[in-house]
């Protein structure tokens, strides 16, 4: 059987997809390979990367049925309906580990495809790890830059007097984080929502701005998405103003704060390329870079951001290691945090963990439930949430959590429809684009999925039907007034990036013609864009939990009904969704799905953690 026939059969058996077929066709032309088992490692590396991993662990995939290590492009395929031949193909085994190693290291054809990073082969083999070459390159770039951050010392800046206001109000862990940031080039702050991460940053910035040469200090503040950047900007401003008042520093105001931007804006995205204006040859012009929501940064972006740091600059990464990792491959911030707790790592001592949440105290329902979810204790989390939801009618106004009966027809669920109308009432009543943008943080609907019965596409259509007619809301046509949208693709030419949230609204300067408006870092001011210039976008009344990462809402609803074996349902996803709220959560979920979700923990294959722990300073 020819290779073409073999891979046709693999595709029919739902072991590989169209892009996998294109990959093996290219590799065959490059190497002249005739043995499908010689190309199987390349497919595994590619599929592992698509699933968020940096590499494929070949040893764990040796001597395994193909159906257990490969996944085609049709997740809804019914294997029971395949014919006998295709079922037999799915049951074929990969080579045993030793035979695979011999093949990859000794076969002349294999040497064209697999080798060391220095060999410039398309795949890099470091037993048992197999990488797509560029992803090993990203890891190596991060290791080199991290080593430089650790080894190239900077003069320690004086710490504030913690006996005086406003620094006296900081907790011990916050003070420790401040000392680390002032004494090191690289420091990491990790903590859940409300643990004082932004308050610590405000104290740091206030202290730095009071130094003798503060006017020469170049500070930058960045986050992975526009929504995250806007949130950290506002939170930092609020904390800064309260601390400034306590310190009676009349000469300083929030205008002194650095303007938050997305990392893509900071680096200067080049249109239609994966590259940036700032890189190792053209570094950023700054002395201190603060990166919030660092857990959302994928492997390629982290490598490029670190490469653009000047050799003297300090870096502070802030995030929550328990939240979702990036959508794209890698779990870089999580690897940094894990390595910083390992005494053999170059990062040991760089991490400060903040664990006292003011938003979700230890005795609060969200605080208790989120801790149980992080610990994998589904029963304790469920009982905590259920107890809160069962408060008496007299206590209903004080409920911070509502657990709703699973209803497969949300359109006929009175509670759901009433919640939608209440949640978006102020948004629909808004009279200006700025007012509407302010109310986008009032409420949202979250779901793990983009497609399907409970995906964002279906939920957004349902929400529009429910809201139709409220305050004159008329969701007809491609664009309509009060249409909530989120950008799906980076577009440097329009100054919009993936995750930026905007609203379609009549423009008073153009006789009420519809335009898209987006928030800026200047309160009350908006950025206007003609609708024909909009990059790829989606409606955003309902969001995936991944898309909500980095945002906060006054209240939210999460939809996890039915029974699902989706790999998207993980404890990190549930924890992230639950902690997007500032006050109230409504959950449509079965116990079966809840238990599966809490039990299923994200595991990503990453060589970065291993290298950080093995590389000496």
Q: What is the 3-state secondary structure (H, E, C) of 309-342?
A: CCCCCEEEEEECCCCCCCCCCCCHHHHHHHHHCC
- Within 10 Å of residue 530's Cβ, how many Cβ atoms? 13
The residue count of the chain comes to: 617
pLDDT band per the 50, 70, 90 thresholds, residue 393: low
Return d(Cα 182, Cα 176) in angstroms, integer: 10
Q: pLDDT above 90 covers what percent of the chain?
A: 73
Query: Is the confidence at residue 395, as pLDDT, over 50?
Result: yes
Mean pLDDT across 424-450: 95
Mean pLDDT across 454-458: 93
Query: Is the confidence at residue 603, as pLDDT, over 80?
Result: yes
pLDDT band per the 50, 70, 90 thresholds, residue 78: low
Segments in 248-329 forming alpha helices (H): 263-267, 299-307
Query: What pLDDT was estimated at residue 536?
Result: 96
Query: What pLDDT was estimated at residue 75?
Result: 64
Mean pLDDT across 560-589: 88
Q: What does the block give as tokens for 578?
A: 């639950």
246-293: pLDDT as tens digits: 775 556 777 788 889 999 999 999 988 899 999 999 999 999 999 999
pTM higher than 0.85: yes
Mean pLDDT, the chain, integer:
91
Query: What pLDDT was estimated at residue 77?
Result: 65
Q: pLDDT above 70 covers what percent of the chain?
A: 97
**DSSP letter string over 71-131?**
--S-TT--GGGS-HHHHHHHHPBPPPHHHHHHHHHH-TTHHHHEE-GGGT-SEEEETTEEE
User: Beta strand pairing status for 123-126 and 129-132?
Assistant: antiparallel
Query: Is the confidence at residue 524, as pLDDT, over 80?
Result: no
Q: What does the block give as tokens for 273?
A: 């390329």
pLDDT band per the 50, 70, 90 thresholds, residue 617: very low
pLDDT band per the 50, 70, 90 thresholds, residue 522: confident
Query: What pLDDT was estimated at residue 249?
Result: 55
Nearest partner of 320 among 175, 233, 229, 196, judged by Cα: 196
Mean pLDDT across 340-369: 92
Of 561 and 109, more confident: 109
User: Beta strand pairing status for 129-132 and 55-57?
Assistant: antiparallel
Query: What pLDDT was estimated at residue 80?
Result: 73
Q: Terminus-to-terminus CA distance in the chain, angstroms? A: 53
DSSP state of 503: E
Query: What pLDDT was estimated at residue 326?
Result: 86
Of 424 and 400, more confident: 424
Nearest partner of 263 among 335, 333, 165, 368, judged by Cα: 333
Mean pLDDT across 163-188: 94
Mean pLDDT across 360-369: 90
Query: Is the confidence at residue 377, as pLDDT, over 50?
Result: yes
Query: What pLDDT was estimated at residue 252?
Result: 72
99-131: pLDDT as tens digits: 999 999 999 999 999 999 999 999 999 999 999
Mean pLDDT across 85-96: 93
Return d(Cα 403, Cα 412) in angstroms, integer: 17
**Residues 470, 583: contact at Cβ < 8 Å?**
no
């Amino acid at each position: 059987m020819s290779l073409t026939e073999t891979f046709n059969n693999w595709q029919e058996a739902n072991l590989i997809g169209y892009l996998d077929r294109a990959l093996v066709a290219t590799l065959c032309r490059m190497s002249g390979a005739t043995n499908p088992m010689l190309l199987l490692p390349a497919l595994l590396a590619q599929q592992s990367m698509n699933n968020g991993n940096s590499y494929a662990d070949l040893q764990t995939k040796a001597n395994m049925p193909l159906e257990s290590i490969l996944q085609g492009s049709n997740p809804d395929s019914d294997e029971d309906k395949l014919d006998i031949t295709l079922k037999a193909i799915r049951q074929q085994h990969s080579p045993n580990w030793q035979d695979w190693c011999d093949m990859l290291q000794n076969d002349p054809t294999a040497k064209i495809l697999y080798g060391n990073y220095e060999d410039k082969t398309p795949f890099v083999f470091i037993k048992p790890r197999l990488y797509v070459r560029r992803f090993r390159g990203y890891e190596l770039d991060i290791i080199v830059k991290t080593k430089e951050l650790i080894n190239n010392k900077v003069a320690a800046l004086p710490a504030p007097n913690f006996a005086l206001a406003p620094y006296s109000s900081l907790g011990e862990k916050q003070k420790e984080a401040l000392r680390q940031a002032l004494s090191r080039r690289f420091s990491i702050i990790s903590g859940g929502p409300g643990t004082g991460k932004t308050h610590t940053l405000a104290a740091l910035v206030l202290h730095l701005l009071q130094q003798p040469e503060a006017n020469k200090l170049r500070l930058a503040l960045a986050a992975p998405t526009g929504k995250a950047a806007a949130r950290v900007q506002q939170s930092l401003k609020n904390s800064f103003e309260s601390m400034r008042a306590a310190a009676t520093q009349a000469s300083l105001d929030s205008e002194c704060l650095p303007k938050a931007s997305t990392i893509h804006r900071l680096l200067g995205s080049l249109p239609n390329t994966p590259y940036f204006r700032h890189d190792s040859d053209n570094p950023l012009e700054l002395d201190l870079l603060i990166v919030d929501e660092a857990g959302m940064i994928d492997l390629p972006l982290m490598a490029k951001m670190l490469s653009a740091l000047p050799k003297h600059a300090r870096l502070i990464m802030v995030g929550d290691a328990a939240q979702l990792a990036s959508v794209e491959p890698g779990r870089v911030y999580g690897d940094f945090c894990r390595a910083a707790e390992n005494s053999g790592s170059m990062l040991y001592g760089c991490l400060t963990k903040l664990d006292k949440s003011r938003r979700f105290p230890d005795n609060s329902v969200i605080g208790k439930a989120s801790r149980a979810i992080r610990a994998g204790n589904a029963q304790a989390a469920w009982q905590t949430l259920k107890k809160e939801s069962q408060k008496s009618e007299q206590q209903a106004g004080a409920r911070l959590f509502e657990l709703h009966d699973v209803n497969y027809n949300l359109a006929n669920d009175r509670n759901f429809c009433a919640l939608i109308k209440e949640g978006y009432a102020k948004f629909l009543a808004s009279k200006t684009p700025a007012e509407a943008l302010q109310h986008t943080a009032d409420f949202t609907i979250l779901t793990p999925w983009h497609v399907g019965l409970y995906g964002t596409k279906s939920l957004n259509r349902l929400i529009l039907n429910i809201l139709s007619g409220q305050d004159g809301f008329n969701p007809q046509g491609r664009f309509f007034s009060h249409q909530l949208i989120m950008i799906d693709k980076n577009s440097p030419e329009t100054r919009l990036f993936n995750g930026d949230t905007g609203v379609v609204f009549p423009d008073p300067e153009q006789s009420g013609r519809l335009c898209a408006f987006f928030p800026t870092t200047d309160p009350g001011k908006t950025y206007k864009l003609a609708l024909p210039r909009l990059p790829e976008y989606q409606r955003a009344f309902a969001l995936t939990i991944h898309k909500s990462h980095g945002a906060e809402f006054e209240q939210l609803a999460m939809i996890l009904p039915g029974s699902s074996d989706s790999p998207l349902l993980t404890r990190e996803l549930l924890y992230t969704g639950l902690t997007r709220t500032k006050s109230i959560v409504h959950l449509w979920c079965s116990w079966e799905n809840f238990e599966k979700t809490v039990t299923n923990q994200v595991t990503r294959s990453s060589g970065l953690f291993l290298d950080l722990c093995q590389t000496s300073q």
